Amino acid sequence: NSAPVTESRTGMSFPSILKESQRLLGIGLRKKAIFGLKNIDVYAFGVYADDGDVKKCLAQKHVGPSDSELKQKEELRDHLMENDIRMTVRLQIVYGRLSIGSVRSAFEESVGSRLLKFGGYDNKELLHRFTSQFKDDIKIPRGSIIELSRDHGYILHTTIDGKEVGSIQSKLLCRSILDLYIGDESFDQKAKEDVESNLASLLHK
Ligand code: DAO
Ligand code: DAO
Ligand code: DAO
């Protein structure tokens, strides 16, 4: 079935198939506390993976039959994040007043914490050099669509409203970005659980 799926809290609608072969596996919501007071809904996100790549990869994956169902699901999710599977995280902006400065600092904080977690990589200067490329004149009003796509060879492509703004080859960066959305401390537990259930059902097909 190919009907779009709506994120219930924001009403943002996600196509069930992207780039012809990437299937929607989970959706979630990124919130942010501002001034330690109020939680704003920043964007809704959808996580996609290439069907063929996933099937090939799951076919090679041996899940311990004696492991609990939960453990099996976690293993599948880890496997998805670690391997050379084409994936996309699609962000649909909800908060209409994002400044590029706040995007830079959120990026440095969230992505920075994961680079440290997976790479032991704590180069603030480099991160800052990277985010300084987010030009002040970029506009991301409500409804803007940012896609972060991992291509074969661990190349991360970033597009805003369909226009490529950059690409970088780094397994560590791809892993770090995916961890924000479907890792153990995902922005939204529901997205992570959706992905686990969908992978498990693909495995048992
Ligand atoms: O602009 O003052 C403000 C508050 C908004 C903070 C939101 C930060 C979240 C940014 C991540 C966006 C990535 C597209
Ligand atoms: O929500 O903290 C977060 C992570 C946001 C990652 C978004 C990357 C956006 C990169 C393009 C921005 C260009 C202004
Ligand atoms: O991938 O093994 C590697 C090398 C590490 C490169 C990390 C680059 C991170 C720099 C910040 C970029 C944020 C997009």
Ligand index nearest the alpha carbon of residue 130: 3
Tell me, yes or no, if the pTM score tops 0.90.
yes
Predicted pLDDT of residue 180: 98
**Closest Cα to atom 6 of ligand 2:** 107
C-beta 16 within 6 A of ligand 1: no
Residue 103's nearest CA partner among 125, 149, 142, 135 is 135
pLDDT in tens, the chain (205 residues): 689 999 999 999 999 999 999 999 999 999 998 877 889 999 999 999 999 999 998 888 777 777 888 898 999 999 999 999 999 999 999 999 999 999 999 999 999 999 999 988 777 888 888 888 888 888 899 999 999 999 999 999 999 999 998 899 999 999 999 999 999 999 999 999 999 999 998 887 6
CB-neighbour burial class of residue 195 (10 A; exposed 0-12, middle 13-18, buried 19+)? buried
Predicted pLDDT of residue 1: 61
Beta bridge partner(s), residue 6: 13
CB-neighbour burial class of residue 45 (10 A; exposed 0-12, middle 13-18, buried 19+)? buried
**Closest Cα to atom 6 of ligand 1:** 102
**Mutational pocket test of ligand 2: of 137, 146, 165, the residue with most ligand atoms within 8 Å of the beta carbon:** 146
Ligand index nearest the alpha carbon of residue 134: 2
- Report the interhelical angle of 69-82 vs 171-182 (nearest 10°): 140
Please list every protein residue whose CB sits less than 6 Å from any atom of ligand 3: 111, 115, 126-127, 130, 168, 170-173
Please list every protein residue whose CB sits less than 6 Å from any atom of ligand 2: 30, 100, 103, 106-107, 110, 134, 138, 146, 158, 180
Residue 171's nearest CA partner among 81, 46, 45 is 81
